[in-house]
Amino acid sequence: MTTTRFRELIARNETAHARRRRITNAFMLTVTGFLTVLALVPLFWIVGYVIYRGGRTINLDFFTQLSRPLGMAGGGVLFSIEGTLVIMILACLFAIPPGVLAAFYVARNPNTALGVALRFGTDVLAGVPSIVMGLFIYVLLVVPTKHYSALAGGLALAILMLPTIIRTTEEMLKLVPHTLREGSLGLGAPEWKTSLTVMFPAALNGIITGFLLAIARSIGETAPLLFTALGNEQYDVGTIVRGGIQSHQSLFAIIGRIINQPVDSLPLTLWKYAQQPYPERIDQSWGVALVLMIFVLLIEIIARLWVESRKRALQG
Amino acid sequence: METNIAVTKTVAPSVEAARKMEIRNLSVFYRKFRALAEISVTVLSNKITAIIGPSGCGKSTLLRSFNRMNDLTAGARMDGEILLDGENINTAGVDVVDVRRRVGMVFQRPNPFPKSIYDNVAFGPRLYGIRRRNDLNEIVEKSLRQSALWDEVKDKLHQSGLSLSGGQQQRLCIARALAVEPEVILMDEPASALDPISTLRIEELMHDLVKDYTIIIVTHNMQQAARVSDYTAMMMIDQERAGRMIEFDETNVIFTNPKDKRTEDYVTGRFG
């Protein structure tokens, strides 16, 4: 009886109900579509405008020449590109090994005192404004050595990268099925060997994505470099290496000279150039912005390709 | 409570074969909770021993006691003797690495490492220091032949283990366990994630392997226990939710003429 009554009610309401449903659906679809477009506008606007403004400045010289004095035509930002690479390599060297090892520790011992402290520490560190890292390294390294350097810049960015690396690596390790770990331990493998030869390769794709996030975030940082790397428009790794070889310096001494002097980085150059009142510098700062964007895009593409090929090799 | 009567009966009648492993009065605790109570069971050489019982009765916990895998669970503690060839392996001084080489394990879900088929099988031997290519090649081929997988994979040894089907992956895991020449193989519901045909292949494989190895299998599937095993241990939880062994006997006795009413109810499908 109740079923019949229910059907009756539905039948009576059907026309009105269906119309209201159609109208609501159309309305919501319009709203979500409109807001999606709205959200995409700034994205494409920024990218488009950077390409438009930067594209006019960029040419081959822009990548291969050092800075030239104002008034002289041409010149490039090679110093800045090299500085960025040196700082990022240093930052990765300082951040990735301890970050990954710490993540292994937390993933295996989440409830020990050290594990809890480490987690809490990374969460706090993730929320610290990036300029504080710069100030910290300034006090710790720049003041005692009495000079700015690529080393100090790399350290500041490494601290910035640490929380991202630790947290993503930890999450990725937790995603590895525990049966895989047991399979290895069940064959008699010790814990460290299981971590190294089974867990790490199994989680590697995700871990690499974590590195990328960390790199992409820190490569665009200006604040931590202000009082660590400072800037150096005559920096050129090629010149340092050639000079070093001519005066028969050791490899160690050459590397020392590369990392132990002030350097520029792309966001730092952008920031300095954009502040200047000269139109040619403003144009160059747009060029630098475009180079920076291309950099991030390239890192992203290369890593994605690598991860994809690895995934394909693993899935057969 | 009659549960206590049954635990004293540990060895099936008319035992002639050698005792490979023996558990005496084993209790397993997870922190304060007793998961297994006073289990005693004897595993005979070159026989298949099945452990059956309803979900949550501690079958897997018991199986994982045989190679000290419970050690990996935080807060787990094992009281009692676990004998391998008459020697107690449940003491602090015993090298678990050696125990796990001698007592290998195959898991419920196929868990090949994300490596090539070859590297999966060679993982164990490499762990024990075998490095020479020829030795490894020989071990890999022998293990894959033993697990009846060789003909299917011999041309693609360097493809990922994950590219195989579920049944093939499980046979790869068996080959990986065989590669370190264990004496006992523990199987934790090895076919429960597989289709009927793959299940059949695993069961045939067990029949072949038991000539050279001793096998202990946990299974949910009573027909499987009846088909493959020589001896069967029936487990159930008591009022305190601790797993107890209520009957242990030759498989045909358990399935045709069980002494315990609860075993009869379980194997005839009246509950569970």
pLDDT tens for A110-126 read: 889 999 999 999 999 99
pLDDT above 70: residue B10: no
CB B151 within 8 A of CB B207: no
pLDDT reading at A1 higher than 60: no
B127 to A187: CB separation less than 8 angstroms, yes or no: yes
| Minimum-distance CB partner of A201 among B114, B164, B177 | B114
Residue B272 in any domain: the answer is: no
d(CA A218, CA A159): 10
> Is the minimum CB–CB distance between A36 and chain B shorter than 8 Å?
no
Query: Phi and psi of A201, rounded to 5°?
Result: -60, -35
Q: How much is the pLDDT for B9?
A: 45
Interface predicted TM-score (ipTM) of this complex, two decimals: 0.81
**Cβ distance of A183 and B113 shorter than 8 Å:** yes
Phi, psi of B235 (to 5 degrees): -120, 155
Query: What does DSSP assign to residue B78?
Result: E
Q: What is the pLDDT averaged over residues B178-193?
A: 91
Q: What is the pTM of this model?
A: 0.80
Chain A positions in Cβ-Cβ contact with residue B100 (cut-off 8 Å): 185-188
- Region B64-68 average pLDDT: 90
CATH number at residue B205: 3.40.50.300
Cα of A316 to nearest chain B Cα, Å: 5
Average pLDDT over chain B, rounded to whole? Answer: 87
Q: Which of A129-133, A175-179, A242-246, B74-78 has the lowest mean pLDDT?
A: B74-78
**Measured in whole angstroms, how far is the alpha carbon of residue B21 from the centre of its chain?**
12
* Binary contact (B72, A179; C-beta < 8 A): no
pLDDT digits (tens, 9 = 90+) for B21-49: 988 889 999 888 888 889 899 999 999 99
Is the model's pLDDT at A7 over the cut of 60? yes
Chain B contact set for A193 (CB, 8 A): 127
* 3-state secondary structure at position B27: strand
Instruction: Look at B135-139, B140-144, B190-194 and tell me which has the smallest mean pLDDT.
Output: B190-194
Q: Is the pLDDT of residue B19 over 90?
A: no
For an interface test with B, which of A187, A309, A311 has the most B Cβ atoms less than 10 Å from its Cβ?
A187
Residue B165 lies inside a defined structural domain of this protein? no
Mean pLDDT within B68-82: 86
Instruction: Report yes or no on B257 lying in a domain.
Output: yes
Nearest chain B CA: its distance from A113 CA (Å): 16
pLDDT of residue A65: 87
Question: What pLDDT is attached to residue B7?
Answer: 42
Predicted confidence at residue B70, as pLDDT, reads: 87
CB contacts of A182 in chain B (<8 Å) are: 69, 72, 105, 107, 111
pLDDT 10s digits, A180-226: 999 999 898 888 889 999 999 899 988 998 898 899 889 999 999 99
Is B163 within a domain? no
Q: How far, in Å, CA of B26 to CA of A184, rounded? A: 26
User: What is the pLDDT of chain A when averaged over all its residues?
Assistant: 90
CB-nearest partner of B111 from A183, A190, A315? A183
Residue A245 has pLDDT above 50, yes or no: yes
pLDDT in tens, A11-58: 777 777 888 889 999 999 999 999 999 999 999 999 999 999 999 988
Share of chain A above pLDDT 70, in %: 98
Chain A residue with CA closest to B174: the answer is: A183
**Are A92 and A159 a contacting pair, CB within 8 Å?**
no
A187, B114: Cβ pair inside 8 Å? no
Instruction: End-to-end CA distance of chain B: give it in Å, rounded.
Output: 21
Contact A177 B111 (CB under 8 A): yes
By C-alpha distance, the chain B residue nearest A183 is: B111
Q: Does A202 touch chain B (CB under 8 A)?
A: yes
Q: In chain A, whose CA is at the least distance from the CA of B95?
A: A188
pLDDT of residue B3: 41
* Within a domain: B198: yes
pLDDT-derived band at A150, boundaries 50, 70, 90: very high
Cβ-defined contact of B107 to A182 (cutoff 8 Å): yes
Q: How many whole angstroms separate alpha carbon A87 and alpha carbon A94?
A: 11
- What single DSSP character describes residue B70? G
Q: What confidence score (pLDDT) does residue A2 get? A: 57
Which pLDDT score is estimated for B272? 55
pLDDT of residue B1: 38
Give the residue from chain A lying closest to B116, CA to CA. A314
Please judge whether A188 and B98 are an interchain contact, meaning their C-beta atoms are less than 8 angstroms apart.
Answer: yes
Q: Which residues of B touch A198 (CB under 8 A)?
A: 113
- Sort out which chain B residues have CB atoms less than 8 A from A313's CB and list them: 160
Closest CA of chain B from A173, distance in Å: 14
How does pLDDT run across B84-105, given as a tens digit for each residue? 988 899 888 888 888 999 999 9
* Domain of B190, in residue numbers: 3-111+182-267
> Quick one: pLDDT band at residue A294, thresholds 50, 70, 90?
very high
pLDDT at A129 over 90: yes
Task: Please give the share of chain A, as a percent, with pLDDT higher than 90.
Answer: 61
pLDDT at B6 > cutoff 50: no
Measured between beta carbons, the chain A residues lying within 8 angstroms of B163 are 315-316
Nearest CA in chain B to A110: B74
**pLDDT for B259 beyond 90:** no
Residue B15 has pLDDT above 70, yes or no: no
Q: Which of A186, A189, A197 sits opposite B67 (nearest CB)?
A: A186
Nearest to B214 by CA among B233, B227, B190, B230: B230
Predicted pLDDT at B269: 81
Are residues B108 and A179, on separate chains, in Cβ contact within 8 Å?
Answer: yes
pLDDT-derived band at B13 (thresholds 50, 70, 90) equals very low
Look at chain B and report how many structural domains it folds into: 1
The verdict on a CB contact (< 8 Å) between B69 and A182 is yes
- Environment class of residue B13 by beta-carbon count within 10 Å: exposed (0-12), middle (13-18) or buried (19+)? exposed
Q: Which of residues 68-107 of A touch B (CB under 8 A)?
A: none
Tell me, what's the pLDDT at B4?
Answer: 42
- pLDDT surpasses 90 at B120: yes
Beta bridge pairs of residue B26: B39
Cβ separation of A198 and B177 shorter than 8 Å? Answer: no
Preferred mutation among B123, B163, B173, B192 to probe A, highest tally of A CBs within 10 A: B123
- What was the pLDDT predicted at B8? 41
Is the backbone of residue B9 left (phi > 0), alpha (psi -120 to 50) or beta?
Answer: beta
Percent of chain B residues past pLDDT 70, beyond the cut:
93
Average pLDDT over every residue of A239-263 = 91
Chain A environment of B162 (Cβ under 8 Å): 314-316
pLDDT surpasses 70 at B16: no
Residue B141: is its pLDDT beyond 80? yes
- Distance of residue B179 Cα from the nearest chain A Cα, in angstroms: 10
Query: How confident is the model at residue A142, as a pLDDT?
Result: 93
The pLDDT value recorded for residue B230 is 92
Classify residue B91: in a domain, yes or no: yes
**Residue of chain B nearest A203, judged by CA positions:** B114
> Rounded to a whole number, what is the distance in Å from the CA of B203 to chain A's nearest CA?
21
pLDDT, mean of residues A271-289: 91
Q: What angle do CA B42, B215, A199 make, to 5 degrees?
A: 115
**Position A307 confidence tier, pLDDT thresholds 50, 70, 90:** confident
Cβ-defined contact of A198 to B108 (cutoff 8 Å): no
